[in-house]
A and B are shown apart, each in its own frame.
Chain A
């Protein structure tokens, strides 16, 4: 079997030749270490007054941004192939650099949805980007933001389609790019407003909250359609609905506010004869039945640090969901020993591998995930993942 058959067979809950392995590689720091490249010290350049304005004006053009961003993701696919992964997730993000006095650097990325992202520099010079704050904390600010950015949303959708199409054309014969429409509807609804304000609005301005969710559902469906236009065969969607100990909202409220949106996403993907794997961080045990009901074909992540256990999830959902995950990235794939990683891979395959419907992966990505350890994970999967799986 080749990588494509392996993944697609697992997605049908059938046993491929061996457990497929999906990479979640996306951080430039991880990519640079795997490929032996020098990090592009973006933060260092922005700290240089002679370079900063030039960098900002260049990177903020659509063409330069797409070239820069495509380069990162192409590097991620090269890394994943180097390490022997069968697939890797591919995510398009549209950002612009802004002068931002609230950020330590003086510059921050702003995304089209209304979030600020802080750039920070690791010791090796690589750049990490993290959501830092909401840019539209009031109803009026949110309305003004989405009006002002209407054209940017159209550009983003076009860029998403072109980005995934190029990846599939350039890499699709060597690895399966699992196109991910991100960020999700709930995240795009609350993060530009802030969780505390959004929570207040749920109780105090429910009509506004519904309007925001409707807006982002329509935009998300356009984005998902753009991802699929590329020909990607396995589609990822996602929304962080969980936090460390449980769902962020009462499950009944999630059903009331978001179920219709998620059903529409599933229907769109299935109409295109594709499978939908859904990502959510956090502890989502209480949402598993809803995921099935909303039509998701699989789930990815199942964060161990949020108490998610692969074996327990398999026990709860059986083969109603394909499971993709969930090696720990807080310790194991950062500092774990080769033996620890091999043991974790064996355990994960024992917990979820029988009967197919399982794809091994890290539970998430961040800049400190170590390429060598990802390689050990793949090696262990090749060694212990041959079907039939021993008990």
Chain B
């Protein structure tokens, strides 16, 4: 029975069937079996991994990636309260935000959905985040990675500013820095002293997954 629900959950995500996925998750959650819940969370992560690969290979498109993320969010809202404390965020903590002066959050929010489903605990600082808030969050949460998003060329200098401030606070060696956004390129990331550039949310999740595995 749980196996069948698990299959319906995974197929619901892969077929972009919100109702089917949510019904399957509700049935698993209603069973009160923590092993089945853990299995369901793993199935969500697997499905999103497949969807991410489809996106990277050009088989799926942004809207499909977003909607799959929305389905995962609804499903996880049913499953997360039933997860064992140790399972949540086991892959590590990531602090993310859109840099000061920039109000765009679509890419950041997709990344958050995918990173959470991949087992990361995500501290979302929101949009228009000043440098000192990034630094304070790194001090407080000691994350595996700091993710900064930036859509506008006019605000890209903020990224270098935050990285410099991390160095000044002796935090740069404690955290990996990943950046993404329309205005940015891999070349800019190298120049600014970031560890990685993610052209999309899925690649970003892949990169922090690799960092987490080390």
Tell whether A pairs with B. yes
- Distance of B180 from chain A, by nearest CB (Å): 8
Q: What CA separation (Å) do A204 and B60 show in the bound complex?
A: 19
Contact B63 A366 (CB under 8 A): no
Stretch of B5-13, B33-41, B64-72, B161-169 at the chain-chain interface: B64-72
Among A130, A202, A204, A244, the residue within 8 A (CB) of B200 is A244
CB of A309 to closest CB in B, whole Å: 14
CB closest chain-B residue, reference A197: B70
Report A-chain residues with C-beta under 8 Å of the C-beta of B183: 305, 330
B70:A200 contact, CB within 8 angstroms: yes
> Residue A132 at the B interface, CB < 8 A?
yes
CB-defined contacts of A334 to chain B, threshold 8 Å: 153
Residue of chain A at shortest CB distance from B128 = A104
- Report which B residues bind A (CB closer than 8 A): 16, 18, 58, 60-64, 66-67, 70, 101, 103, 106, 109, 128, 152-154, 156, 182-185, 188, 199-200
The answer to whether A305 touches B182 (Cβ under 8 A) is yes
For the complex of A and B, list the 10 residue pairs with the smallest distance between their C-beta atoms, beginning with the closest: A132-B103, A250-B61, A199-B63, A199-B66, A248-B62, A249-B63, A368-B154, A330-B153, A199-B67, A245-B200
A120 to B128, CA, bound (A): 11
Are the C-beta atoms of A130 and B66 separated by less than 8 Å? no
- Report Cα–Cα, A246/B63, bound state, in Å: 11
Q: How far is the CA of A286 from the CA of B59 in the complex (A)?
A: 11
Are B63 and A245 within 8 A (Cβ)? no
A203 near B16: Cβ-Cβ < 8 Å? yes
Q: Please determine whether A248 and B182 come into contact, CB atoms closer than 8 angstroms.
A: no
Q: Which of B18, B109, B200 contacts A203 (CB 8 A)?
A: B18
Interface flag for A1 (CB, 8 Å): no
Return chain A residues, CB-CB under 8 Å to B182.
Answer: 243-244, 281-282, 305-306
A: interface residue count bin: 35 or more
Are A199 and B70 in contact (CB-based, < 8 A)?
yes
A-B contact pairs, 7 of them (CB 8 A): A195-B66, A196-B70, A196-B106, A305-B182, A330-B184, A330-B188, A366-B154
Question: Would you call A366 and B18 a contact (CB within 8 A)?
Answer: no
Extra pairs beyond A249-B63, A250-B64 (11, CB < 8 Å)? A118-B103, A130-B152, A196-B70, A199-B63, A200-B67, A204-B18, A244-B200, A246-B58, A248-B61, A330-B156, A330-B188
- Cβ-defined contact, A196 with B109, below 8 A: yes
Residues in A neighbouring B63, C-beta threshold 8 A: 195, 199, 202, 248-250, 253
Give the complex CA separation of A155 and B80 in angstroms.
50
**A120 to B18 alpha-carbon distance, docked (Å):** 39
